[in-house]
Structures are given as C-alpha cells and as structure tokens.
A and B are shown apart, each in its own frame.
Chain A
Amino acid sequence: MVGSVGLLAAAIAIGLGALGAGIGNGMIVSKTVEGIARQPEARGVLQTVMFIGVALVEALPIIAVVVAFIVMNK
C-alpha cells in the first residue's frame, strides 16, 4: 500500500484538479446563462459551445482522479 506522502500526493492531485474544474465550469455556465439571457435566439449555439467547453474542461480532472487512484493503489 501507499505511504502518507503518496496519500498526500493523491489528495493534492484530486483537490487541485477539482478546483480547476470547478472554476472553469462555473465560468462557462455563468457566461452561457448570461449570453442566453442577452440573446435568447442564440441559445442552441451557446449550449453546444458550453457542452464542448464543459467536456474539455472536465477531461483533466478526470485524469487527475484516475492518476490519484492509481497512486493510491500502488
């Protein structure tokens, strides 16, 4: 099993990954809602862009979580 430093590394990886994803997702969603409120006819386009943004923002934290899980099980 992993030592305490490994656990700390896993925790930092997950924490920082989630922090980045949280900030990124929050900004994307807030700007999309703002854009929809300003221009309701552009809703479909904005939501598609938001979907792609959220998907790409979340790729990195998923990798962080996976790496942390691998580190914890070494």
Chain B
Amino acid sequence: MLELHQIFAKQKRMLFFLLAFCALGWAFTPYQTVFAGLALGALFGHYNFWILVRRMERFDRSINEGKKVASLGSAFRFASGIAAVAVATMLPKYFHLISTVIGLMIPYVLLLVDRIVFHVKYQ
C-alpha cells in the first residue's frame, strides 16, 4: 500500500504546482474564468482521486480480513464530477465550463504521465 500513498503524495504535490500556476494565470492574464475553472476542476478531480485511494485501502483491508467489498465508490466520483460542473454552470461569470471539465481530468492525465515516466525510468 505504500506505493499507493506515494502516487497520491506525488499527485498532491503536482496539484499544488497546478493551483499556483492557475493563481498566477488568474491574477496576471485576462483569462480569469478559464484559470478559475481549471483550478475548480482540478480540486474536484483530486477529490475523486482521494476517494479512490480511500476505497483501495478499504479493498485491501477487506481482502486481508476475507470480507466482501461493497463498492469502489464510482457513484461518489460521478457525483463529484457533476458537482464541479454544477458549480461552473451556476456561476458562468466566474468559471469557464469547458476548462472545468478539462480540470476534472487533470489528475488522470498526471497519473498516466507519471506512470509512463516511471516505466521509462525503471523498466
């Protein structure tokens, strides 16, 4: 389970860099809604990722104890995606919808890139 936490910690570090980048873009460029949407989407995407890590830990524990696993939390992740888009549609003055959806997918892209780099480096 250690590697799971390592991946999550790396994602967290990258999220902070991304949020700093979004803050800079929000403050110094005219595309404020785009950067705000990216930050919002990335936050919700990261929340999705956190839920997944938590469920994986529960899955691990269940296998250890020989219990059944109820779910991997897909409904929660779908709901948090909808929540991000709902915020963006409710406040179009502050958040750009498409960039919110793009931001929602950023953790997955980072995960994929991270694994590709890991494989190229170590295998």
Contacts and interface: CB of A to CB of B under 8 A. Distances in A.
Interface of A: 18, 21, 25, 29, 33, 36, 44-45, 47-48, 50-52, 54-56, 58-59, 61-63, 65-66, 69-70, 73
A58 B112 CA distance: 13
Contact of A66 (B7, B60, B104, B111): B104
Task: Label chain B's interface by main secondary structure.
Answer: helix
Interface in B28-48: 48
Interface of B: 1-4, 7, 48-49, 52-53, 56, 59-60, 63, 69, 72, 74, 77-78, 81-82, 84-86, 89, 97, 101, 104-105, 108, 111-112, 115
A58 B115 contact: no
Which residue among A52, A59, A62 has the maximum number of chain B CB atoms within 10 Å of its CB?
A62
